[in-house]
Every structure is written in structure tokens, then in C-alpha cells.
Amino acid sequence: MRVTKFAVAGFLIAAGTALAAKAGQISSADYASIQAAIDANPGEMIFVANGRHEIDKSLMITTANAGLYGPGTIVQKNVNECLLRIMQTEGVRIEGLTFTRPEGATDTTQEGVFIRESSNVTLDGIRIIDNRGPGGSISAYKCANLTIRDSFIENYKSLFIDDRMKPEDLYGYAFQSIDGTGIKAFHNTGIVIRGNRVVESHFIPSKENVEKLGLGKITKVAEKLGRLAPVQDIKAGYTSNWHQGSAIIVGGLGHSNFTIIAENYIENAAQGIDIHADNVTISNNIVNGGIMGMKAMHGSRNVLIEGNQFLNVDLWGIMLMPGAGSHPARSQKENPEKFEANNDGGTIIANNIISNFGYGPQRWNWGGKDGGTTTQSPIALMGGQLAENPPLKDVLIMGNIVYDTGRDGVIENGEPTVEGPRYQYALYVEQTKEPKPQNVIVRGNIFNAGSKGVANFELPAQ
Amino acid sequence: MRKTLIAIAGIMLSAGTAFAAKGMISSADYDSIQAAIDANPGEMVFVPNGRHEIEKSLMITAKNSGLYGPGTIVQKNTEECLLRITDTDGVRIEGLTFTRPEGATDTTQAGIFIRDASNITVDGVRVIDNRGPGGSIDCHLTESVTIRDCYIENYKSLFVDDRMEPADLYGYAFQSIDGTGIKALNNNGITIRGNRVVEKHFIPTKENVERLGLGKITKVGEKLGRLAPLEDIKAGYTSNWHQGSAIVVAGLGHARLAIVAETMWRTRPRASTFTQTM
């Protein structure tokens, strides 16, 4: 009988092994943990089976051509750890998995999926849900040839103190904010962000929520305020700038280039798409609901903004500005870090539609029926933040529509009401504050007039 | 004893059923990937992890069949393609890596060659080190082919660009670097979207050109054609030594309805750009 038992056991083990080997699939189910499967199979794709796989240390991939695929869900219980780190490697692929944090442990200062100093990494069809905080649900740093496609990011914002005590010469204050980033890419080259959805359904920027959470409250003030500190806000103890972060941000002041952002859908962002990079194509995206649709500043050169829809935004649809981070080319000896020209312009804004402007969730904060401030505009080209910033130049604006949706009638108390435009000018181009934009060419657009006109300057017939 | 045996049989049966419920046709269950393809016409075959060496091109001719999975196909034979999809319809290739090993990377053959076929999808495939003018992915006389989200790396090789024919136009040959990432001649309705086509191996520096003798005229016709560059031929050197395209769609009058979108190509070596950004 004992012999029989051994035989049975042996047979079953052999059969089990044969079965596992039969399909040839390396499954994390055959290991003590997903990390153990990764470590035991360098350079291989690991199948992650159905089910919730809890972790309390970040998954880590460091070998070339390794990866994860399958229907499994990774649940990170530790708020002090990332979901997955891909470090100093190449050719890694992550396909189809869901990553999340459990209720009560969603808010984090850590990144979700963090890719650092790696090349040819592809994230394809993954879902990151409830990785809430400024670190980014997906964050890439110093990578080359990275693709993030067909992925879904939900709920990436959390309460956060926005500390602007530094740089002291510019700011010198801190305030209570909501901050969060869907996809964050700094200092990368050749990144493609395509076909993703970045949606916030947890935090809604309503007046009630802001009061309940004390958003905008100034929490710290320096003895001496910097040049860009909002003195009146600081006196009043409140800034309306409490909604921070972006659905997608590509930055890295002068070290970020060759980016494609295409066919993404973004809903309820603070900023939809935020660019501080060169040679960027932003095409066929929809940004629905936010403070702004997109902005490009701090040295964003040769940005192609084409075929996008920006709707239900309250401050800007498309905004270009030479931010404080921009500078001309300068001596490498004197500026060993930032010597190459980092200026704004050489940009095309074509075939975009901006509609429902002023009908977003933050109209109460940024606008009003009178259309808010003058610069609050569906398309805005601004002067430099600092006098020494190189001017924004060579911008071609053509074939766009700024559509005044209120004319069609909006339903109020069950009845249609024709509303006036919720902007003063469809197009605002800074005319006085130096450095002001240079060589802006505007042709063939349909701009429905704002409360004060089509543009804040004499615009040739379109 | 009898009970035990029944129990064993029961366990084996249920284990077997559980496994079969996965429903996966894996190439690991066959002698070779080709054997798996041949035994399962019209089915998608899973290619598991690992390097699967071949020395004859994989061949798919049955409708609606295909390959998917994390496996890497390594073609050791420079005289053979990586994969041929011919005279068929509805084939899908998903997620695989295709490559040639060191020392056998240069080829006159195509990598993935799709011919006289329709509704073929190549999705998320990597073709690495299929170096030569044949094309890492080559479509010929097809309809409705989609090549999407693929990665092609290193597709160029040394090659004598022979323009002896047509004699009335040219009549010379020269040493070149030639290579094509995605080649589509005489196709209708092809979509090429979201791919990366990158050359890291050959960098067109002056030093490389001198070392490899690029541009050197190697043959001249007795009578030169109308478009032959006389001065170059006299000097024995043409600056036109860098041939090929990351993506070429053509077929003189027989290529229509192509969408080429969101493809990122790079010729700079990733490594050096990467170092600069560090």
C-alpha cells in the first residue's frame, strides 16, 4: 500500500510537471510569488493568472526582454511602495494586467508603474486603478523608446500639500491642494502615449468638496516672497489654484523630446495634457472636463497640436506660454546643466475643436457668466512669465473651431436657455506684456465671438 | 487497490480536463512550431517562452490560423525567411519575437513575408536583426493587411546596389548599405500604424563609410544610361550609398489605400542618445 501511495504521488508529480511543461507557459502560479517567478525566469514573459495577487513590496523587473502578461490583478497593500518598477533594462513588456491599491490604502506618494533608465519598454492594455497621488499612475524617467498604449488609468488624485517654498526667488509659499498625475514622463526621448484613457471619477472639484477638504488654504509662507508668488492670495489665505496635476505630463526642461500623444481620452483632469518638451505631436485626443485642455510651456519647441477636441474646460482650451523655465542658448561653461536653447514656438495649432468652453466642473472657480478674466480663453498665447524668457514665436493657428455652445441653448430648470459665450475672446494673444508672442499667423478658423469679440486684437478675416 | 486506482484515474482525468479547459493549442505539444501549425489548420497556436530555433521558414497557408505568445523564433539560415504567409486569409501573428542569431543576421531574404494574402494582422511583433534589403516585414500583392504596434530593430546590411539594369537609364553598381523595415509593394488597403522602426547597428558616420568602402563604384556598363551620374562614376564614388527606407509603400500603379500613421522611426543609436539624457 505504501508503495502504491508513493507510486501515485510520483505519477501525479510527473503528470503535473508534464502538464506545466506541456503548454510551455511560464506561469506565476507555479511559483511562491510573482516576484519569485520573475526572478527565476530572467528575460522571459511571465503569465499572471486570474485573481487578486497581493503584494507589499513593489514588483521589480531588471532583466532585458522580461515581462508580465495575463488577466491577473496586482494589489499593492503598502502605500510606501510602487506597484511595479522596471529599472535599467530594455525590451520589457507588460500586457493586460490590472494594478491597484485596496480601499483605505489608495493614497500614496509613490509611483504606480515606474520605469527608469530603460529603453524599448512597452505597456500595453494594462489598467491602473486607485494609485492616487502626485507620483503618477505610470511614471517614466530617463527612458528611451517607451510605448504606453491602450491602457486605462482611473482615479489618480489625492490630497496633497503643494509646497512652493522653493525656489525662494520665485515663490515661497505652500497650500492645500488636490494633486495627481495619470501618466508622467520626464527626461525621456521617443515616448509614445497612445490610445489610453485617463479618467478621474473619485475626486470631483465641486465647491462643496473644496470647502470640506480645505483646498486652496495657504499653509506656509516664507519671510520674503518670490517674484511669482501671488501676494493677494497669500494675504487672503486662499488660492484658487488648488487643483494641481495633469492627466498626461511630458516634461524635463530641455531634456525631453520626440513624443507622440495620440488618440487618448481624458476626463475630469486638472490639466489634460501638459507639455514641457520639444518635437511633440499631440493628435486626435479628447480632453473632456478640466481646468485646461492642454498647455505647452517652459521651453516647448515644435509642438504639433492637431485634430484634438477640448471640451468642458474652464480656463484654457489650448495655452502656449514661455514659462519661467525657458531660456535662450547660453554658455555651457556657465550653465553646465541647462545650456541648450529651451524656448517656445515653431508650433502648429490646426484642426482642433474647442467647445462647451466654460461648462466644465470648475467654472465656479475660474469663470462666471461674464466669461471670467480676459486671458481666460479657448486659445491663449501668453507673454513670458519672466522678463528674461525668450518670446513665444512662429505659431501657426489654422482650421480650428472655437464653438460657442451656449447659442444652441442649454437646459436650465428643465427649459432651454440661450446663454452668452463664457469667454471674452475666442483667441487671446498677449499684445503688451513683454516678452510678447512674435509671428503668430491665424488663418481659416471659425471663432465664435466671445462677450468682447473674436480676438483681443485686430484679426484678419478668416 | 482497486479503489486507489480508480481514485488515481479520477484525479488524472479531472487534472487532464482542467488543463484541457485552458483550450490552448501550444507549439510545445508538438515536435516543432511548424508541426503545430500543420496539425491545426485554421487555429491560433501559442508559442511559449524561450528561443525556438528554425532553419526553414515557418509557413502559414491555412485560413484564420496564426501564432501568438511570448516565444522568440530564431532563424539560423540566412537563405530562408523568418515566416511566410502565402495564399491565405485572416491570419494573425501576435506578440512573438523573430530574430536571426549573431553571425547570421545579414540576409537577402525577407523577414516576415506576406504574399497573395488578405486580412492579415501582424500585431505587437518584434523583428530584430533581420538585416538586408528584403524587408523585416514584406507584403506583396496583398489586400487589407494591418501591421500595428510592432518593433523593428536593425534592418540594414552591406549590399551591392546593382543598377546595371535598366541599361537605358543607369548602367552601374556601387557598394551601399541597404535595408528596409516595412516593405509593401503592390498591395491594396494596407495599414501601418504605431510601429517603431529603429536602426541601432549601422550609423552613417564618415568613419563607417570609409571603413566599409561605401559609395565605391563596383561595376560600370559599356554604355551609360540617361540617369547615370557621370561625375560620380568618373570619380569612382557616389554619395548615394545609404539606400532603403524605414517604410516603403509602392508598386508603380498597383498600390492603393495605404494608411501610415503614428510610426516612430529612429536612426540615432539609442544608447548614445540615452547617455546624453542621463
Interval A389-411: pLDDT, tens: 999 999 999 999 999 999 999 88
**Average pLDDT of chain A, as a whole number:** 92
Left (φ > 0), alpha (ψ -120 to 50) or beta: where does A439 sit? Answer: left
- Of all residues in chain A, the percent with pLDDT exceeding 90 is 83
Cβ neighbours of B24 in A, within 8 Å: 23, 25
- CA of A379 vs chain B CAs: smallest distance (Å): 25
pLDDT of residue A371: 61
By the 8 A CB rule, do B121 and B96 touch? no
Cell numbers 520573475 correspond to what residue? A38
CB pairs below 8 Å between A and B: how many?
110
Torsion on CA atoms A438, A444, A446, A450, rounded to nearest 10: 30
- State the Cα angle at A304 between A303 and A305, rounded to 5°: 110
Indicate the pLDDT class of residue B108, thresholds 50, 70 and 90: very high
pLDDT of residue B276: 27
Q: What is the mean pLDDT of residues B41-62?
A: 97
Interval A326-358: pLDDT, tens: 999 999 999 888 888 999 999 999 999 999 999
pLDDT of residue A17: 42
For chain A, domain boundaries:
8-131
Q: What is the spatial distance between Cα B217 and Cα A273, in angstroms, rounded to a whole number? A: 52
CB contact under 8 A, B262 and A41: no
> Between residues B185 and A256, which one has the greater pLDDT?
B185
Q: What is the mean pLDDT of residues B236-261?
A: 82
A63 touches chain B (CB under 8 A): no
Model ipTM value:
0.83
Q: What is the mean pLDDT of residues A313-323?
A: 95
Q: What is the spatial distance between Cα A132 and Cα A160, in angstroms, rounded to a whole number? A: 10
By the 8 A CB rule, do A63 and B49 touch? no
Question: What is the maximal distance between C-alpha atoms in chain B?
Answer: 94
Task: Determine the residue of chain B that is closest to A15 in CA distance.
Answer: B12
Indicate the pLDDT class of residue B262, thresholds 50, 70 and 90: low
**Pairing between strand A410-412 and A415-417?**
antiparallel
> Between residues B11 and B45, which one has the greater pLDDT?
B45
Length of chain A: 462
By the 8 A CB rule, do B49 and B71 touch? yes
CB contact under 8 A, A192 and B194: yes
Residues 6+ apart with CB under 8 A from B119: B89, B90, B91, B143, B144, B145
Helix, strand and coil content of chain B, in percent to the nearest 5, comes to 20, 40, 45
Among B49, B68, B126, B151, the residue to mutate for chain A (most A Cβ within 10 A):
B49
Indicate the pLDDT class of residue B272, thresholds 50, 70 and 90: very low
pLDDT of residue A16: 41
Which of B124, B183, B181 lies closest to B155, judged by CA?
Answer: B181
3-state secondary structure of B231: helix
Q: What is the spatial distance between Cα B74 and Cα B67, in angstroms, rounded to a whole number? A: 15
By the 8 A CB rule, do B68 and B91 touch? no
CB contact under 8 A, B70 and A147: no
**Average pLDDT of chain B, as a whole number:** 86
Q: Side chain identity at B82, as an amino acid letter?
A: L
pLDDT of residue A378: 97
> Between residues A256 and B98, which one has the greater pLDDT?
B98
Q: How far is CA B116 from CA A293, B58, B65, B87, in A?
A: 46, 16, 16, 5
Which of A244, A233, A274 lies closest to A256, judged by CA?
Answer: A274
What is the CB neighbour count within 10 angstroms for residue A67? 24
Indicate the pLDDT class of residue A372, thresholds 50, 70 and 90: confident
- Of all residues in chain B, the percent with pLDDT exceeding 90 is 79
Q: Is the pLDDT confidence value at A2 over 70?
A: no
Task: Determine the residue of chain B that is closest to A259 in CA distance.
Answer: B264
Which of A445, A328, A343 lies closest to A393, judged by CA?
Answer: A343
Q: What is the mean pLDDT of residues A271-280?
A: 96
Backbone angles phi, psi at B162, to 5 degrees: -90, 105
3-state secondary structure of A110: coil
> Between residues B240 and A373, which one has the greater pLDDT?
B240
Q: Is the pLDDT confidence value at B263 over 90?
A: no
By the 8 A CB rule, do A84 and A94 touch? yes
Indicate the pLDDT class of residue B14, thresholds 50, 70 and 90: very low
pLDDT of residue A256: 84
Interval A200-243: pLDDT, tens: 999 999 999 999 999 999 999 999 999 889 999 999 999 998 99
Interval A83-138: pLDDT, tens: 999 999 999 999 999 999 999 999 999 999 999 999 999 999 999 999 999 999 99
Residue of A4, A23, A95 lying closest to B26 (CB–CB) = A23
Q: What is the DSSP string of A38-70?
A: HHHSTT-EEE--SSEEEESS-EEE-STT-EEES
- CA of A358 vs chain B CAs: smallest distance (Å): 32
Q: What is the DSSP string of A228-291?
A: T--HHHHHHTB-S--B--EEEEEE-TTS-EEEEEES-EEEEEEEEEEE--EEEEEES-EEEEEE
CB contact under 8 A, B26 and A255: no
Interval B181-218: pLDDT, tens: 999 999 988 999 999 999 999 999 999 999 999 999 99
Q: What is the spatial distance between Cα A263 and Cα A308, in angstroms, rounded to a whole number? A: 9
Which of A184, A191, A183, A114 lies closest to A145, judged by CA?
Answer: A191
pLDDT of residue A89: 97
Which of B61, B82, B63 lies closest to B125, judged by CA?
Answer: B82
Half-sphere exposure of A338 (CA within 13 A, CB side): 14
- CA of A192 vs chain B CAs: smallest distance (Å): 8
Cβ neighbours of A25 in B, within 8 Å: 24, 26, 46, 48-49, 69
- Whole-prediction pTM value? 0.88
pLDDT of residue B18: 33
Bridge partners (DSSP) listed for residue B183: B138, B248
Which of A51, A95, A55 lies closest to A73, judged by CA?
Answer: A51
pLDDT of residue A176: 96
Q: What is the mean pLDDT of residues A378-392?
A: 95
Buried-exposed string A116-154: b where 16+ CB fall within 10 A, e elsewhere = bbbbbbbbbbbbbbbbbbbbbbbbbbbbbbbbbbbbbbb
CB contact under 8 A, B8 and A19: no
> Between residues A313 and A255, which one has the greater pLDDT?
A313
Cell numbers 478668416 correspond to what residue? A462
For chain B, report the end-to-end CA distance as a whole number of angstroms: 69
pLDDT of residue A255: 76
pLDDT of residue A83: 98
Specify the range with the lowest mean pLDDT, choosing from A162-176, A245-259, B118-132. A245-259
By the 8 A CB rule, do A96 and A125 touch? yes
pLDDT of residue B273: 30
Q: Is the pLDDT confidence value at A15 over 90?
A: no
CB contact under 8 A, B48 and A23: yes
pLDDT of residue B21: 32
Interval A31-72: pLDDT, tens: 999 999 999 999 999 999 999 999 999 999 999 999 999 999
Q: What is the spatial distance between Cα A249 and Cα A211, in angstroms, rounded to a whole number? A: 28
Interval B133-148: pLDDT, tens: 999 999 999 999 999 9
Q: What is the spatial distance between Cα A379 and Cα A424, in angstroms, rounded to a whole number? A: 11
pLDDT of residue A24: 82
**Pairing between strand B217-220 and B172-185?**
antiparallel
Task: Determine the residue of chain A that is closest to B278 in CA distance.
Answer: A142
